[in-house]
Amino acid sequence: MKTVECVPNFSEGRDQGIITEISNAIRTVDGVTLLDVSSGYDTNRTVYTFAGSPDAVFDAAFSAIERGIELIDMSHHRGTHPRIGACDVCPFVPVQNIDMDECVKIARKLGKRVGSSLKIPVYLYGHAAIRPARVELSAIRSGEYEGLAKKLKNPLWKPDYGPSQYTKQVKRSGAAVVGARDFLIAFNINLNTEDRTTAQCIAGRIREKGRVVIDDRGNRVHIPGSLRFCRAIGWYIELYKRAQVSINLTNYTKTNMHHAFEAAAEEADSLDVRVTGSEIVGLVPKEAVLESGRFFLQQKGKSQNLPEHEVIRAAVGGLGLSELEEFAPDKKIIEYML
């Protein structure tokens, strides 16, 4: 059986009624299993994870987006997470007996339907991107929702599907970004400070694209970050009363959670703050957790040839995954959920 995963991110993390309505829009589609719903109050964002057959996942994604733009008014939206629309991003991920090319076809088909039926601008990203400048989500989302009206006037940013005009509907819904990608781990690292600037500094030092500094002559100098396949920003979360380094790991086989955690801890130490723990948003592949567990076992000089649950426990302890909320492997590891 072919299995594809879809992970749409909606710009609503506070109104439980709206969050539930979008969940119900997904659940009502036969052949789809809603695996996880992760909401953040300060980010004002909810990440849904569901999986199933390609046709069923396509239908569920459209149903969720349709319901989301009915209920979410972006003109009133405020949150710490970058966003460009009510359904900010909707990626498809190959899971079993399906390749990336098929996910690209699903993404483009969905983008076309959303643009024509729901009358909102749609951009394609990741492997589904038609234009090289749109491969990176951050490039499309630059300027965010507030800059969308200006963006639509620029011929270089004509949507791949849907209207180019800033209509009343577009003002309410914003744009949607649809694509296909590999597994991505959304991973937030907690700091023992409320200073967002410190988190932003750490993010700039470790993320692949690095940061820009001003040298002694007043010139802008680009300094690459220490980790490949790592995207990061810094923010302050009022609910937790602490700053976080918010990270997306785009290739966990090359740069995994423990790599990011250790790098962030080293940078934090140089700034006289401490990393206290972390959290995973959405689901995570089992092998990624096991690899981190083996790293921390090796770090302590312990055997890595332990039962799976003990290696996972080592990862949870080493990464501090239960600092903010208990990490339940049966609810956070995708293979266990499937």
Supply the pLDDT for residue 103. Answer: 98
- Write out pLDDT tens, residues 11-35: 999 999 999 999 999 999 999 999 9
- Write out pLDDT tens, residues 161-187: 999 999 999 999 999 999 999 999 999
Task: Let me know if the fold of 3-180 is the same as that of 185-337.
Answer: no
Instruction: Assess whether 259 carries a catalytic annotation.
Output: no
Q: Which residues contact 20 (CB under 8 A, 6 or more apart)?
A: none
Sign of torsion over alpha carbons 12, 13, 18, 22: positive
Quick check: 64 pLDDT over 90?
yes
Any idea which architecture 3-180 has in CATH?
A: 2-Layer Sandwich (3.30)
Rounded to an integer, what distance in angstroms lies between the CA atom of residue 195 and that of residue 133? Answer: 33
Q: Does residue 89 contact residue 9 with C-beta atoms inside 8 Å?
A: yes
What SS3 class is residue 112?
A: helix
Per-residue confidence band for 217, with pLDDT thresholds at 50, 70 and 90 = confident
Q: 3.20.20.120, 3.90.660.10, 3.30.70.670, 3.50.7.10: which CATH number matches 185-337?
A: 3.30.70.670
C-alpha of 198 from chain center = 22
What are the residue boundaries of the structural domains of the chain, listed by start? 3-180, 185-337
Q: Helix, strand, coil proportions of the chain in percent (round to 5)?
A: 40, 25, 35
Q: Does residue 47 contact residue 284 with C-beta atoms inside 8 Å?
A: no
Listing DSSP states for 165-176 in one string gives S--HHHHHHB-E
Per-residue confidence band for 213, with pLDDT thresholds at 50, 70 and 90 = confident
Rounded to two decimals, the pTM is 0.90
Q: Among residues 142, 96, 88, which one has the least CA distance to residue 120? A: 88
Cβ of 333: how many Cβ atoms within 10 Å? 21
**Average pLDDT value for residue range 292-297:** 98
What SS3 class is residue 279?
A: strand
Supply the pLDDT for residue 68. Answer: 98
The catalytic residue among 77, 81, 127, 258 is: 81
Kind of pairing between the strands at 185-191 and 45-52: unpaired
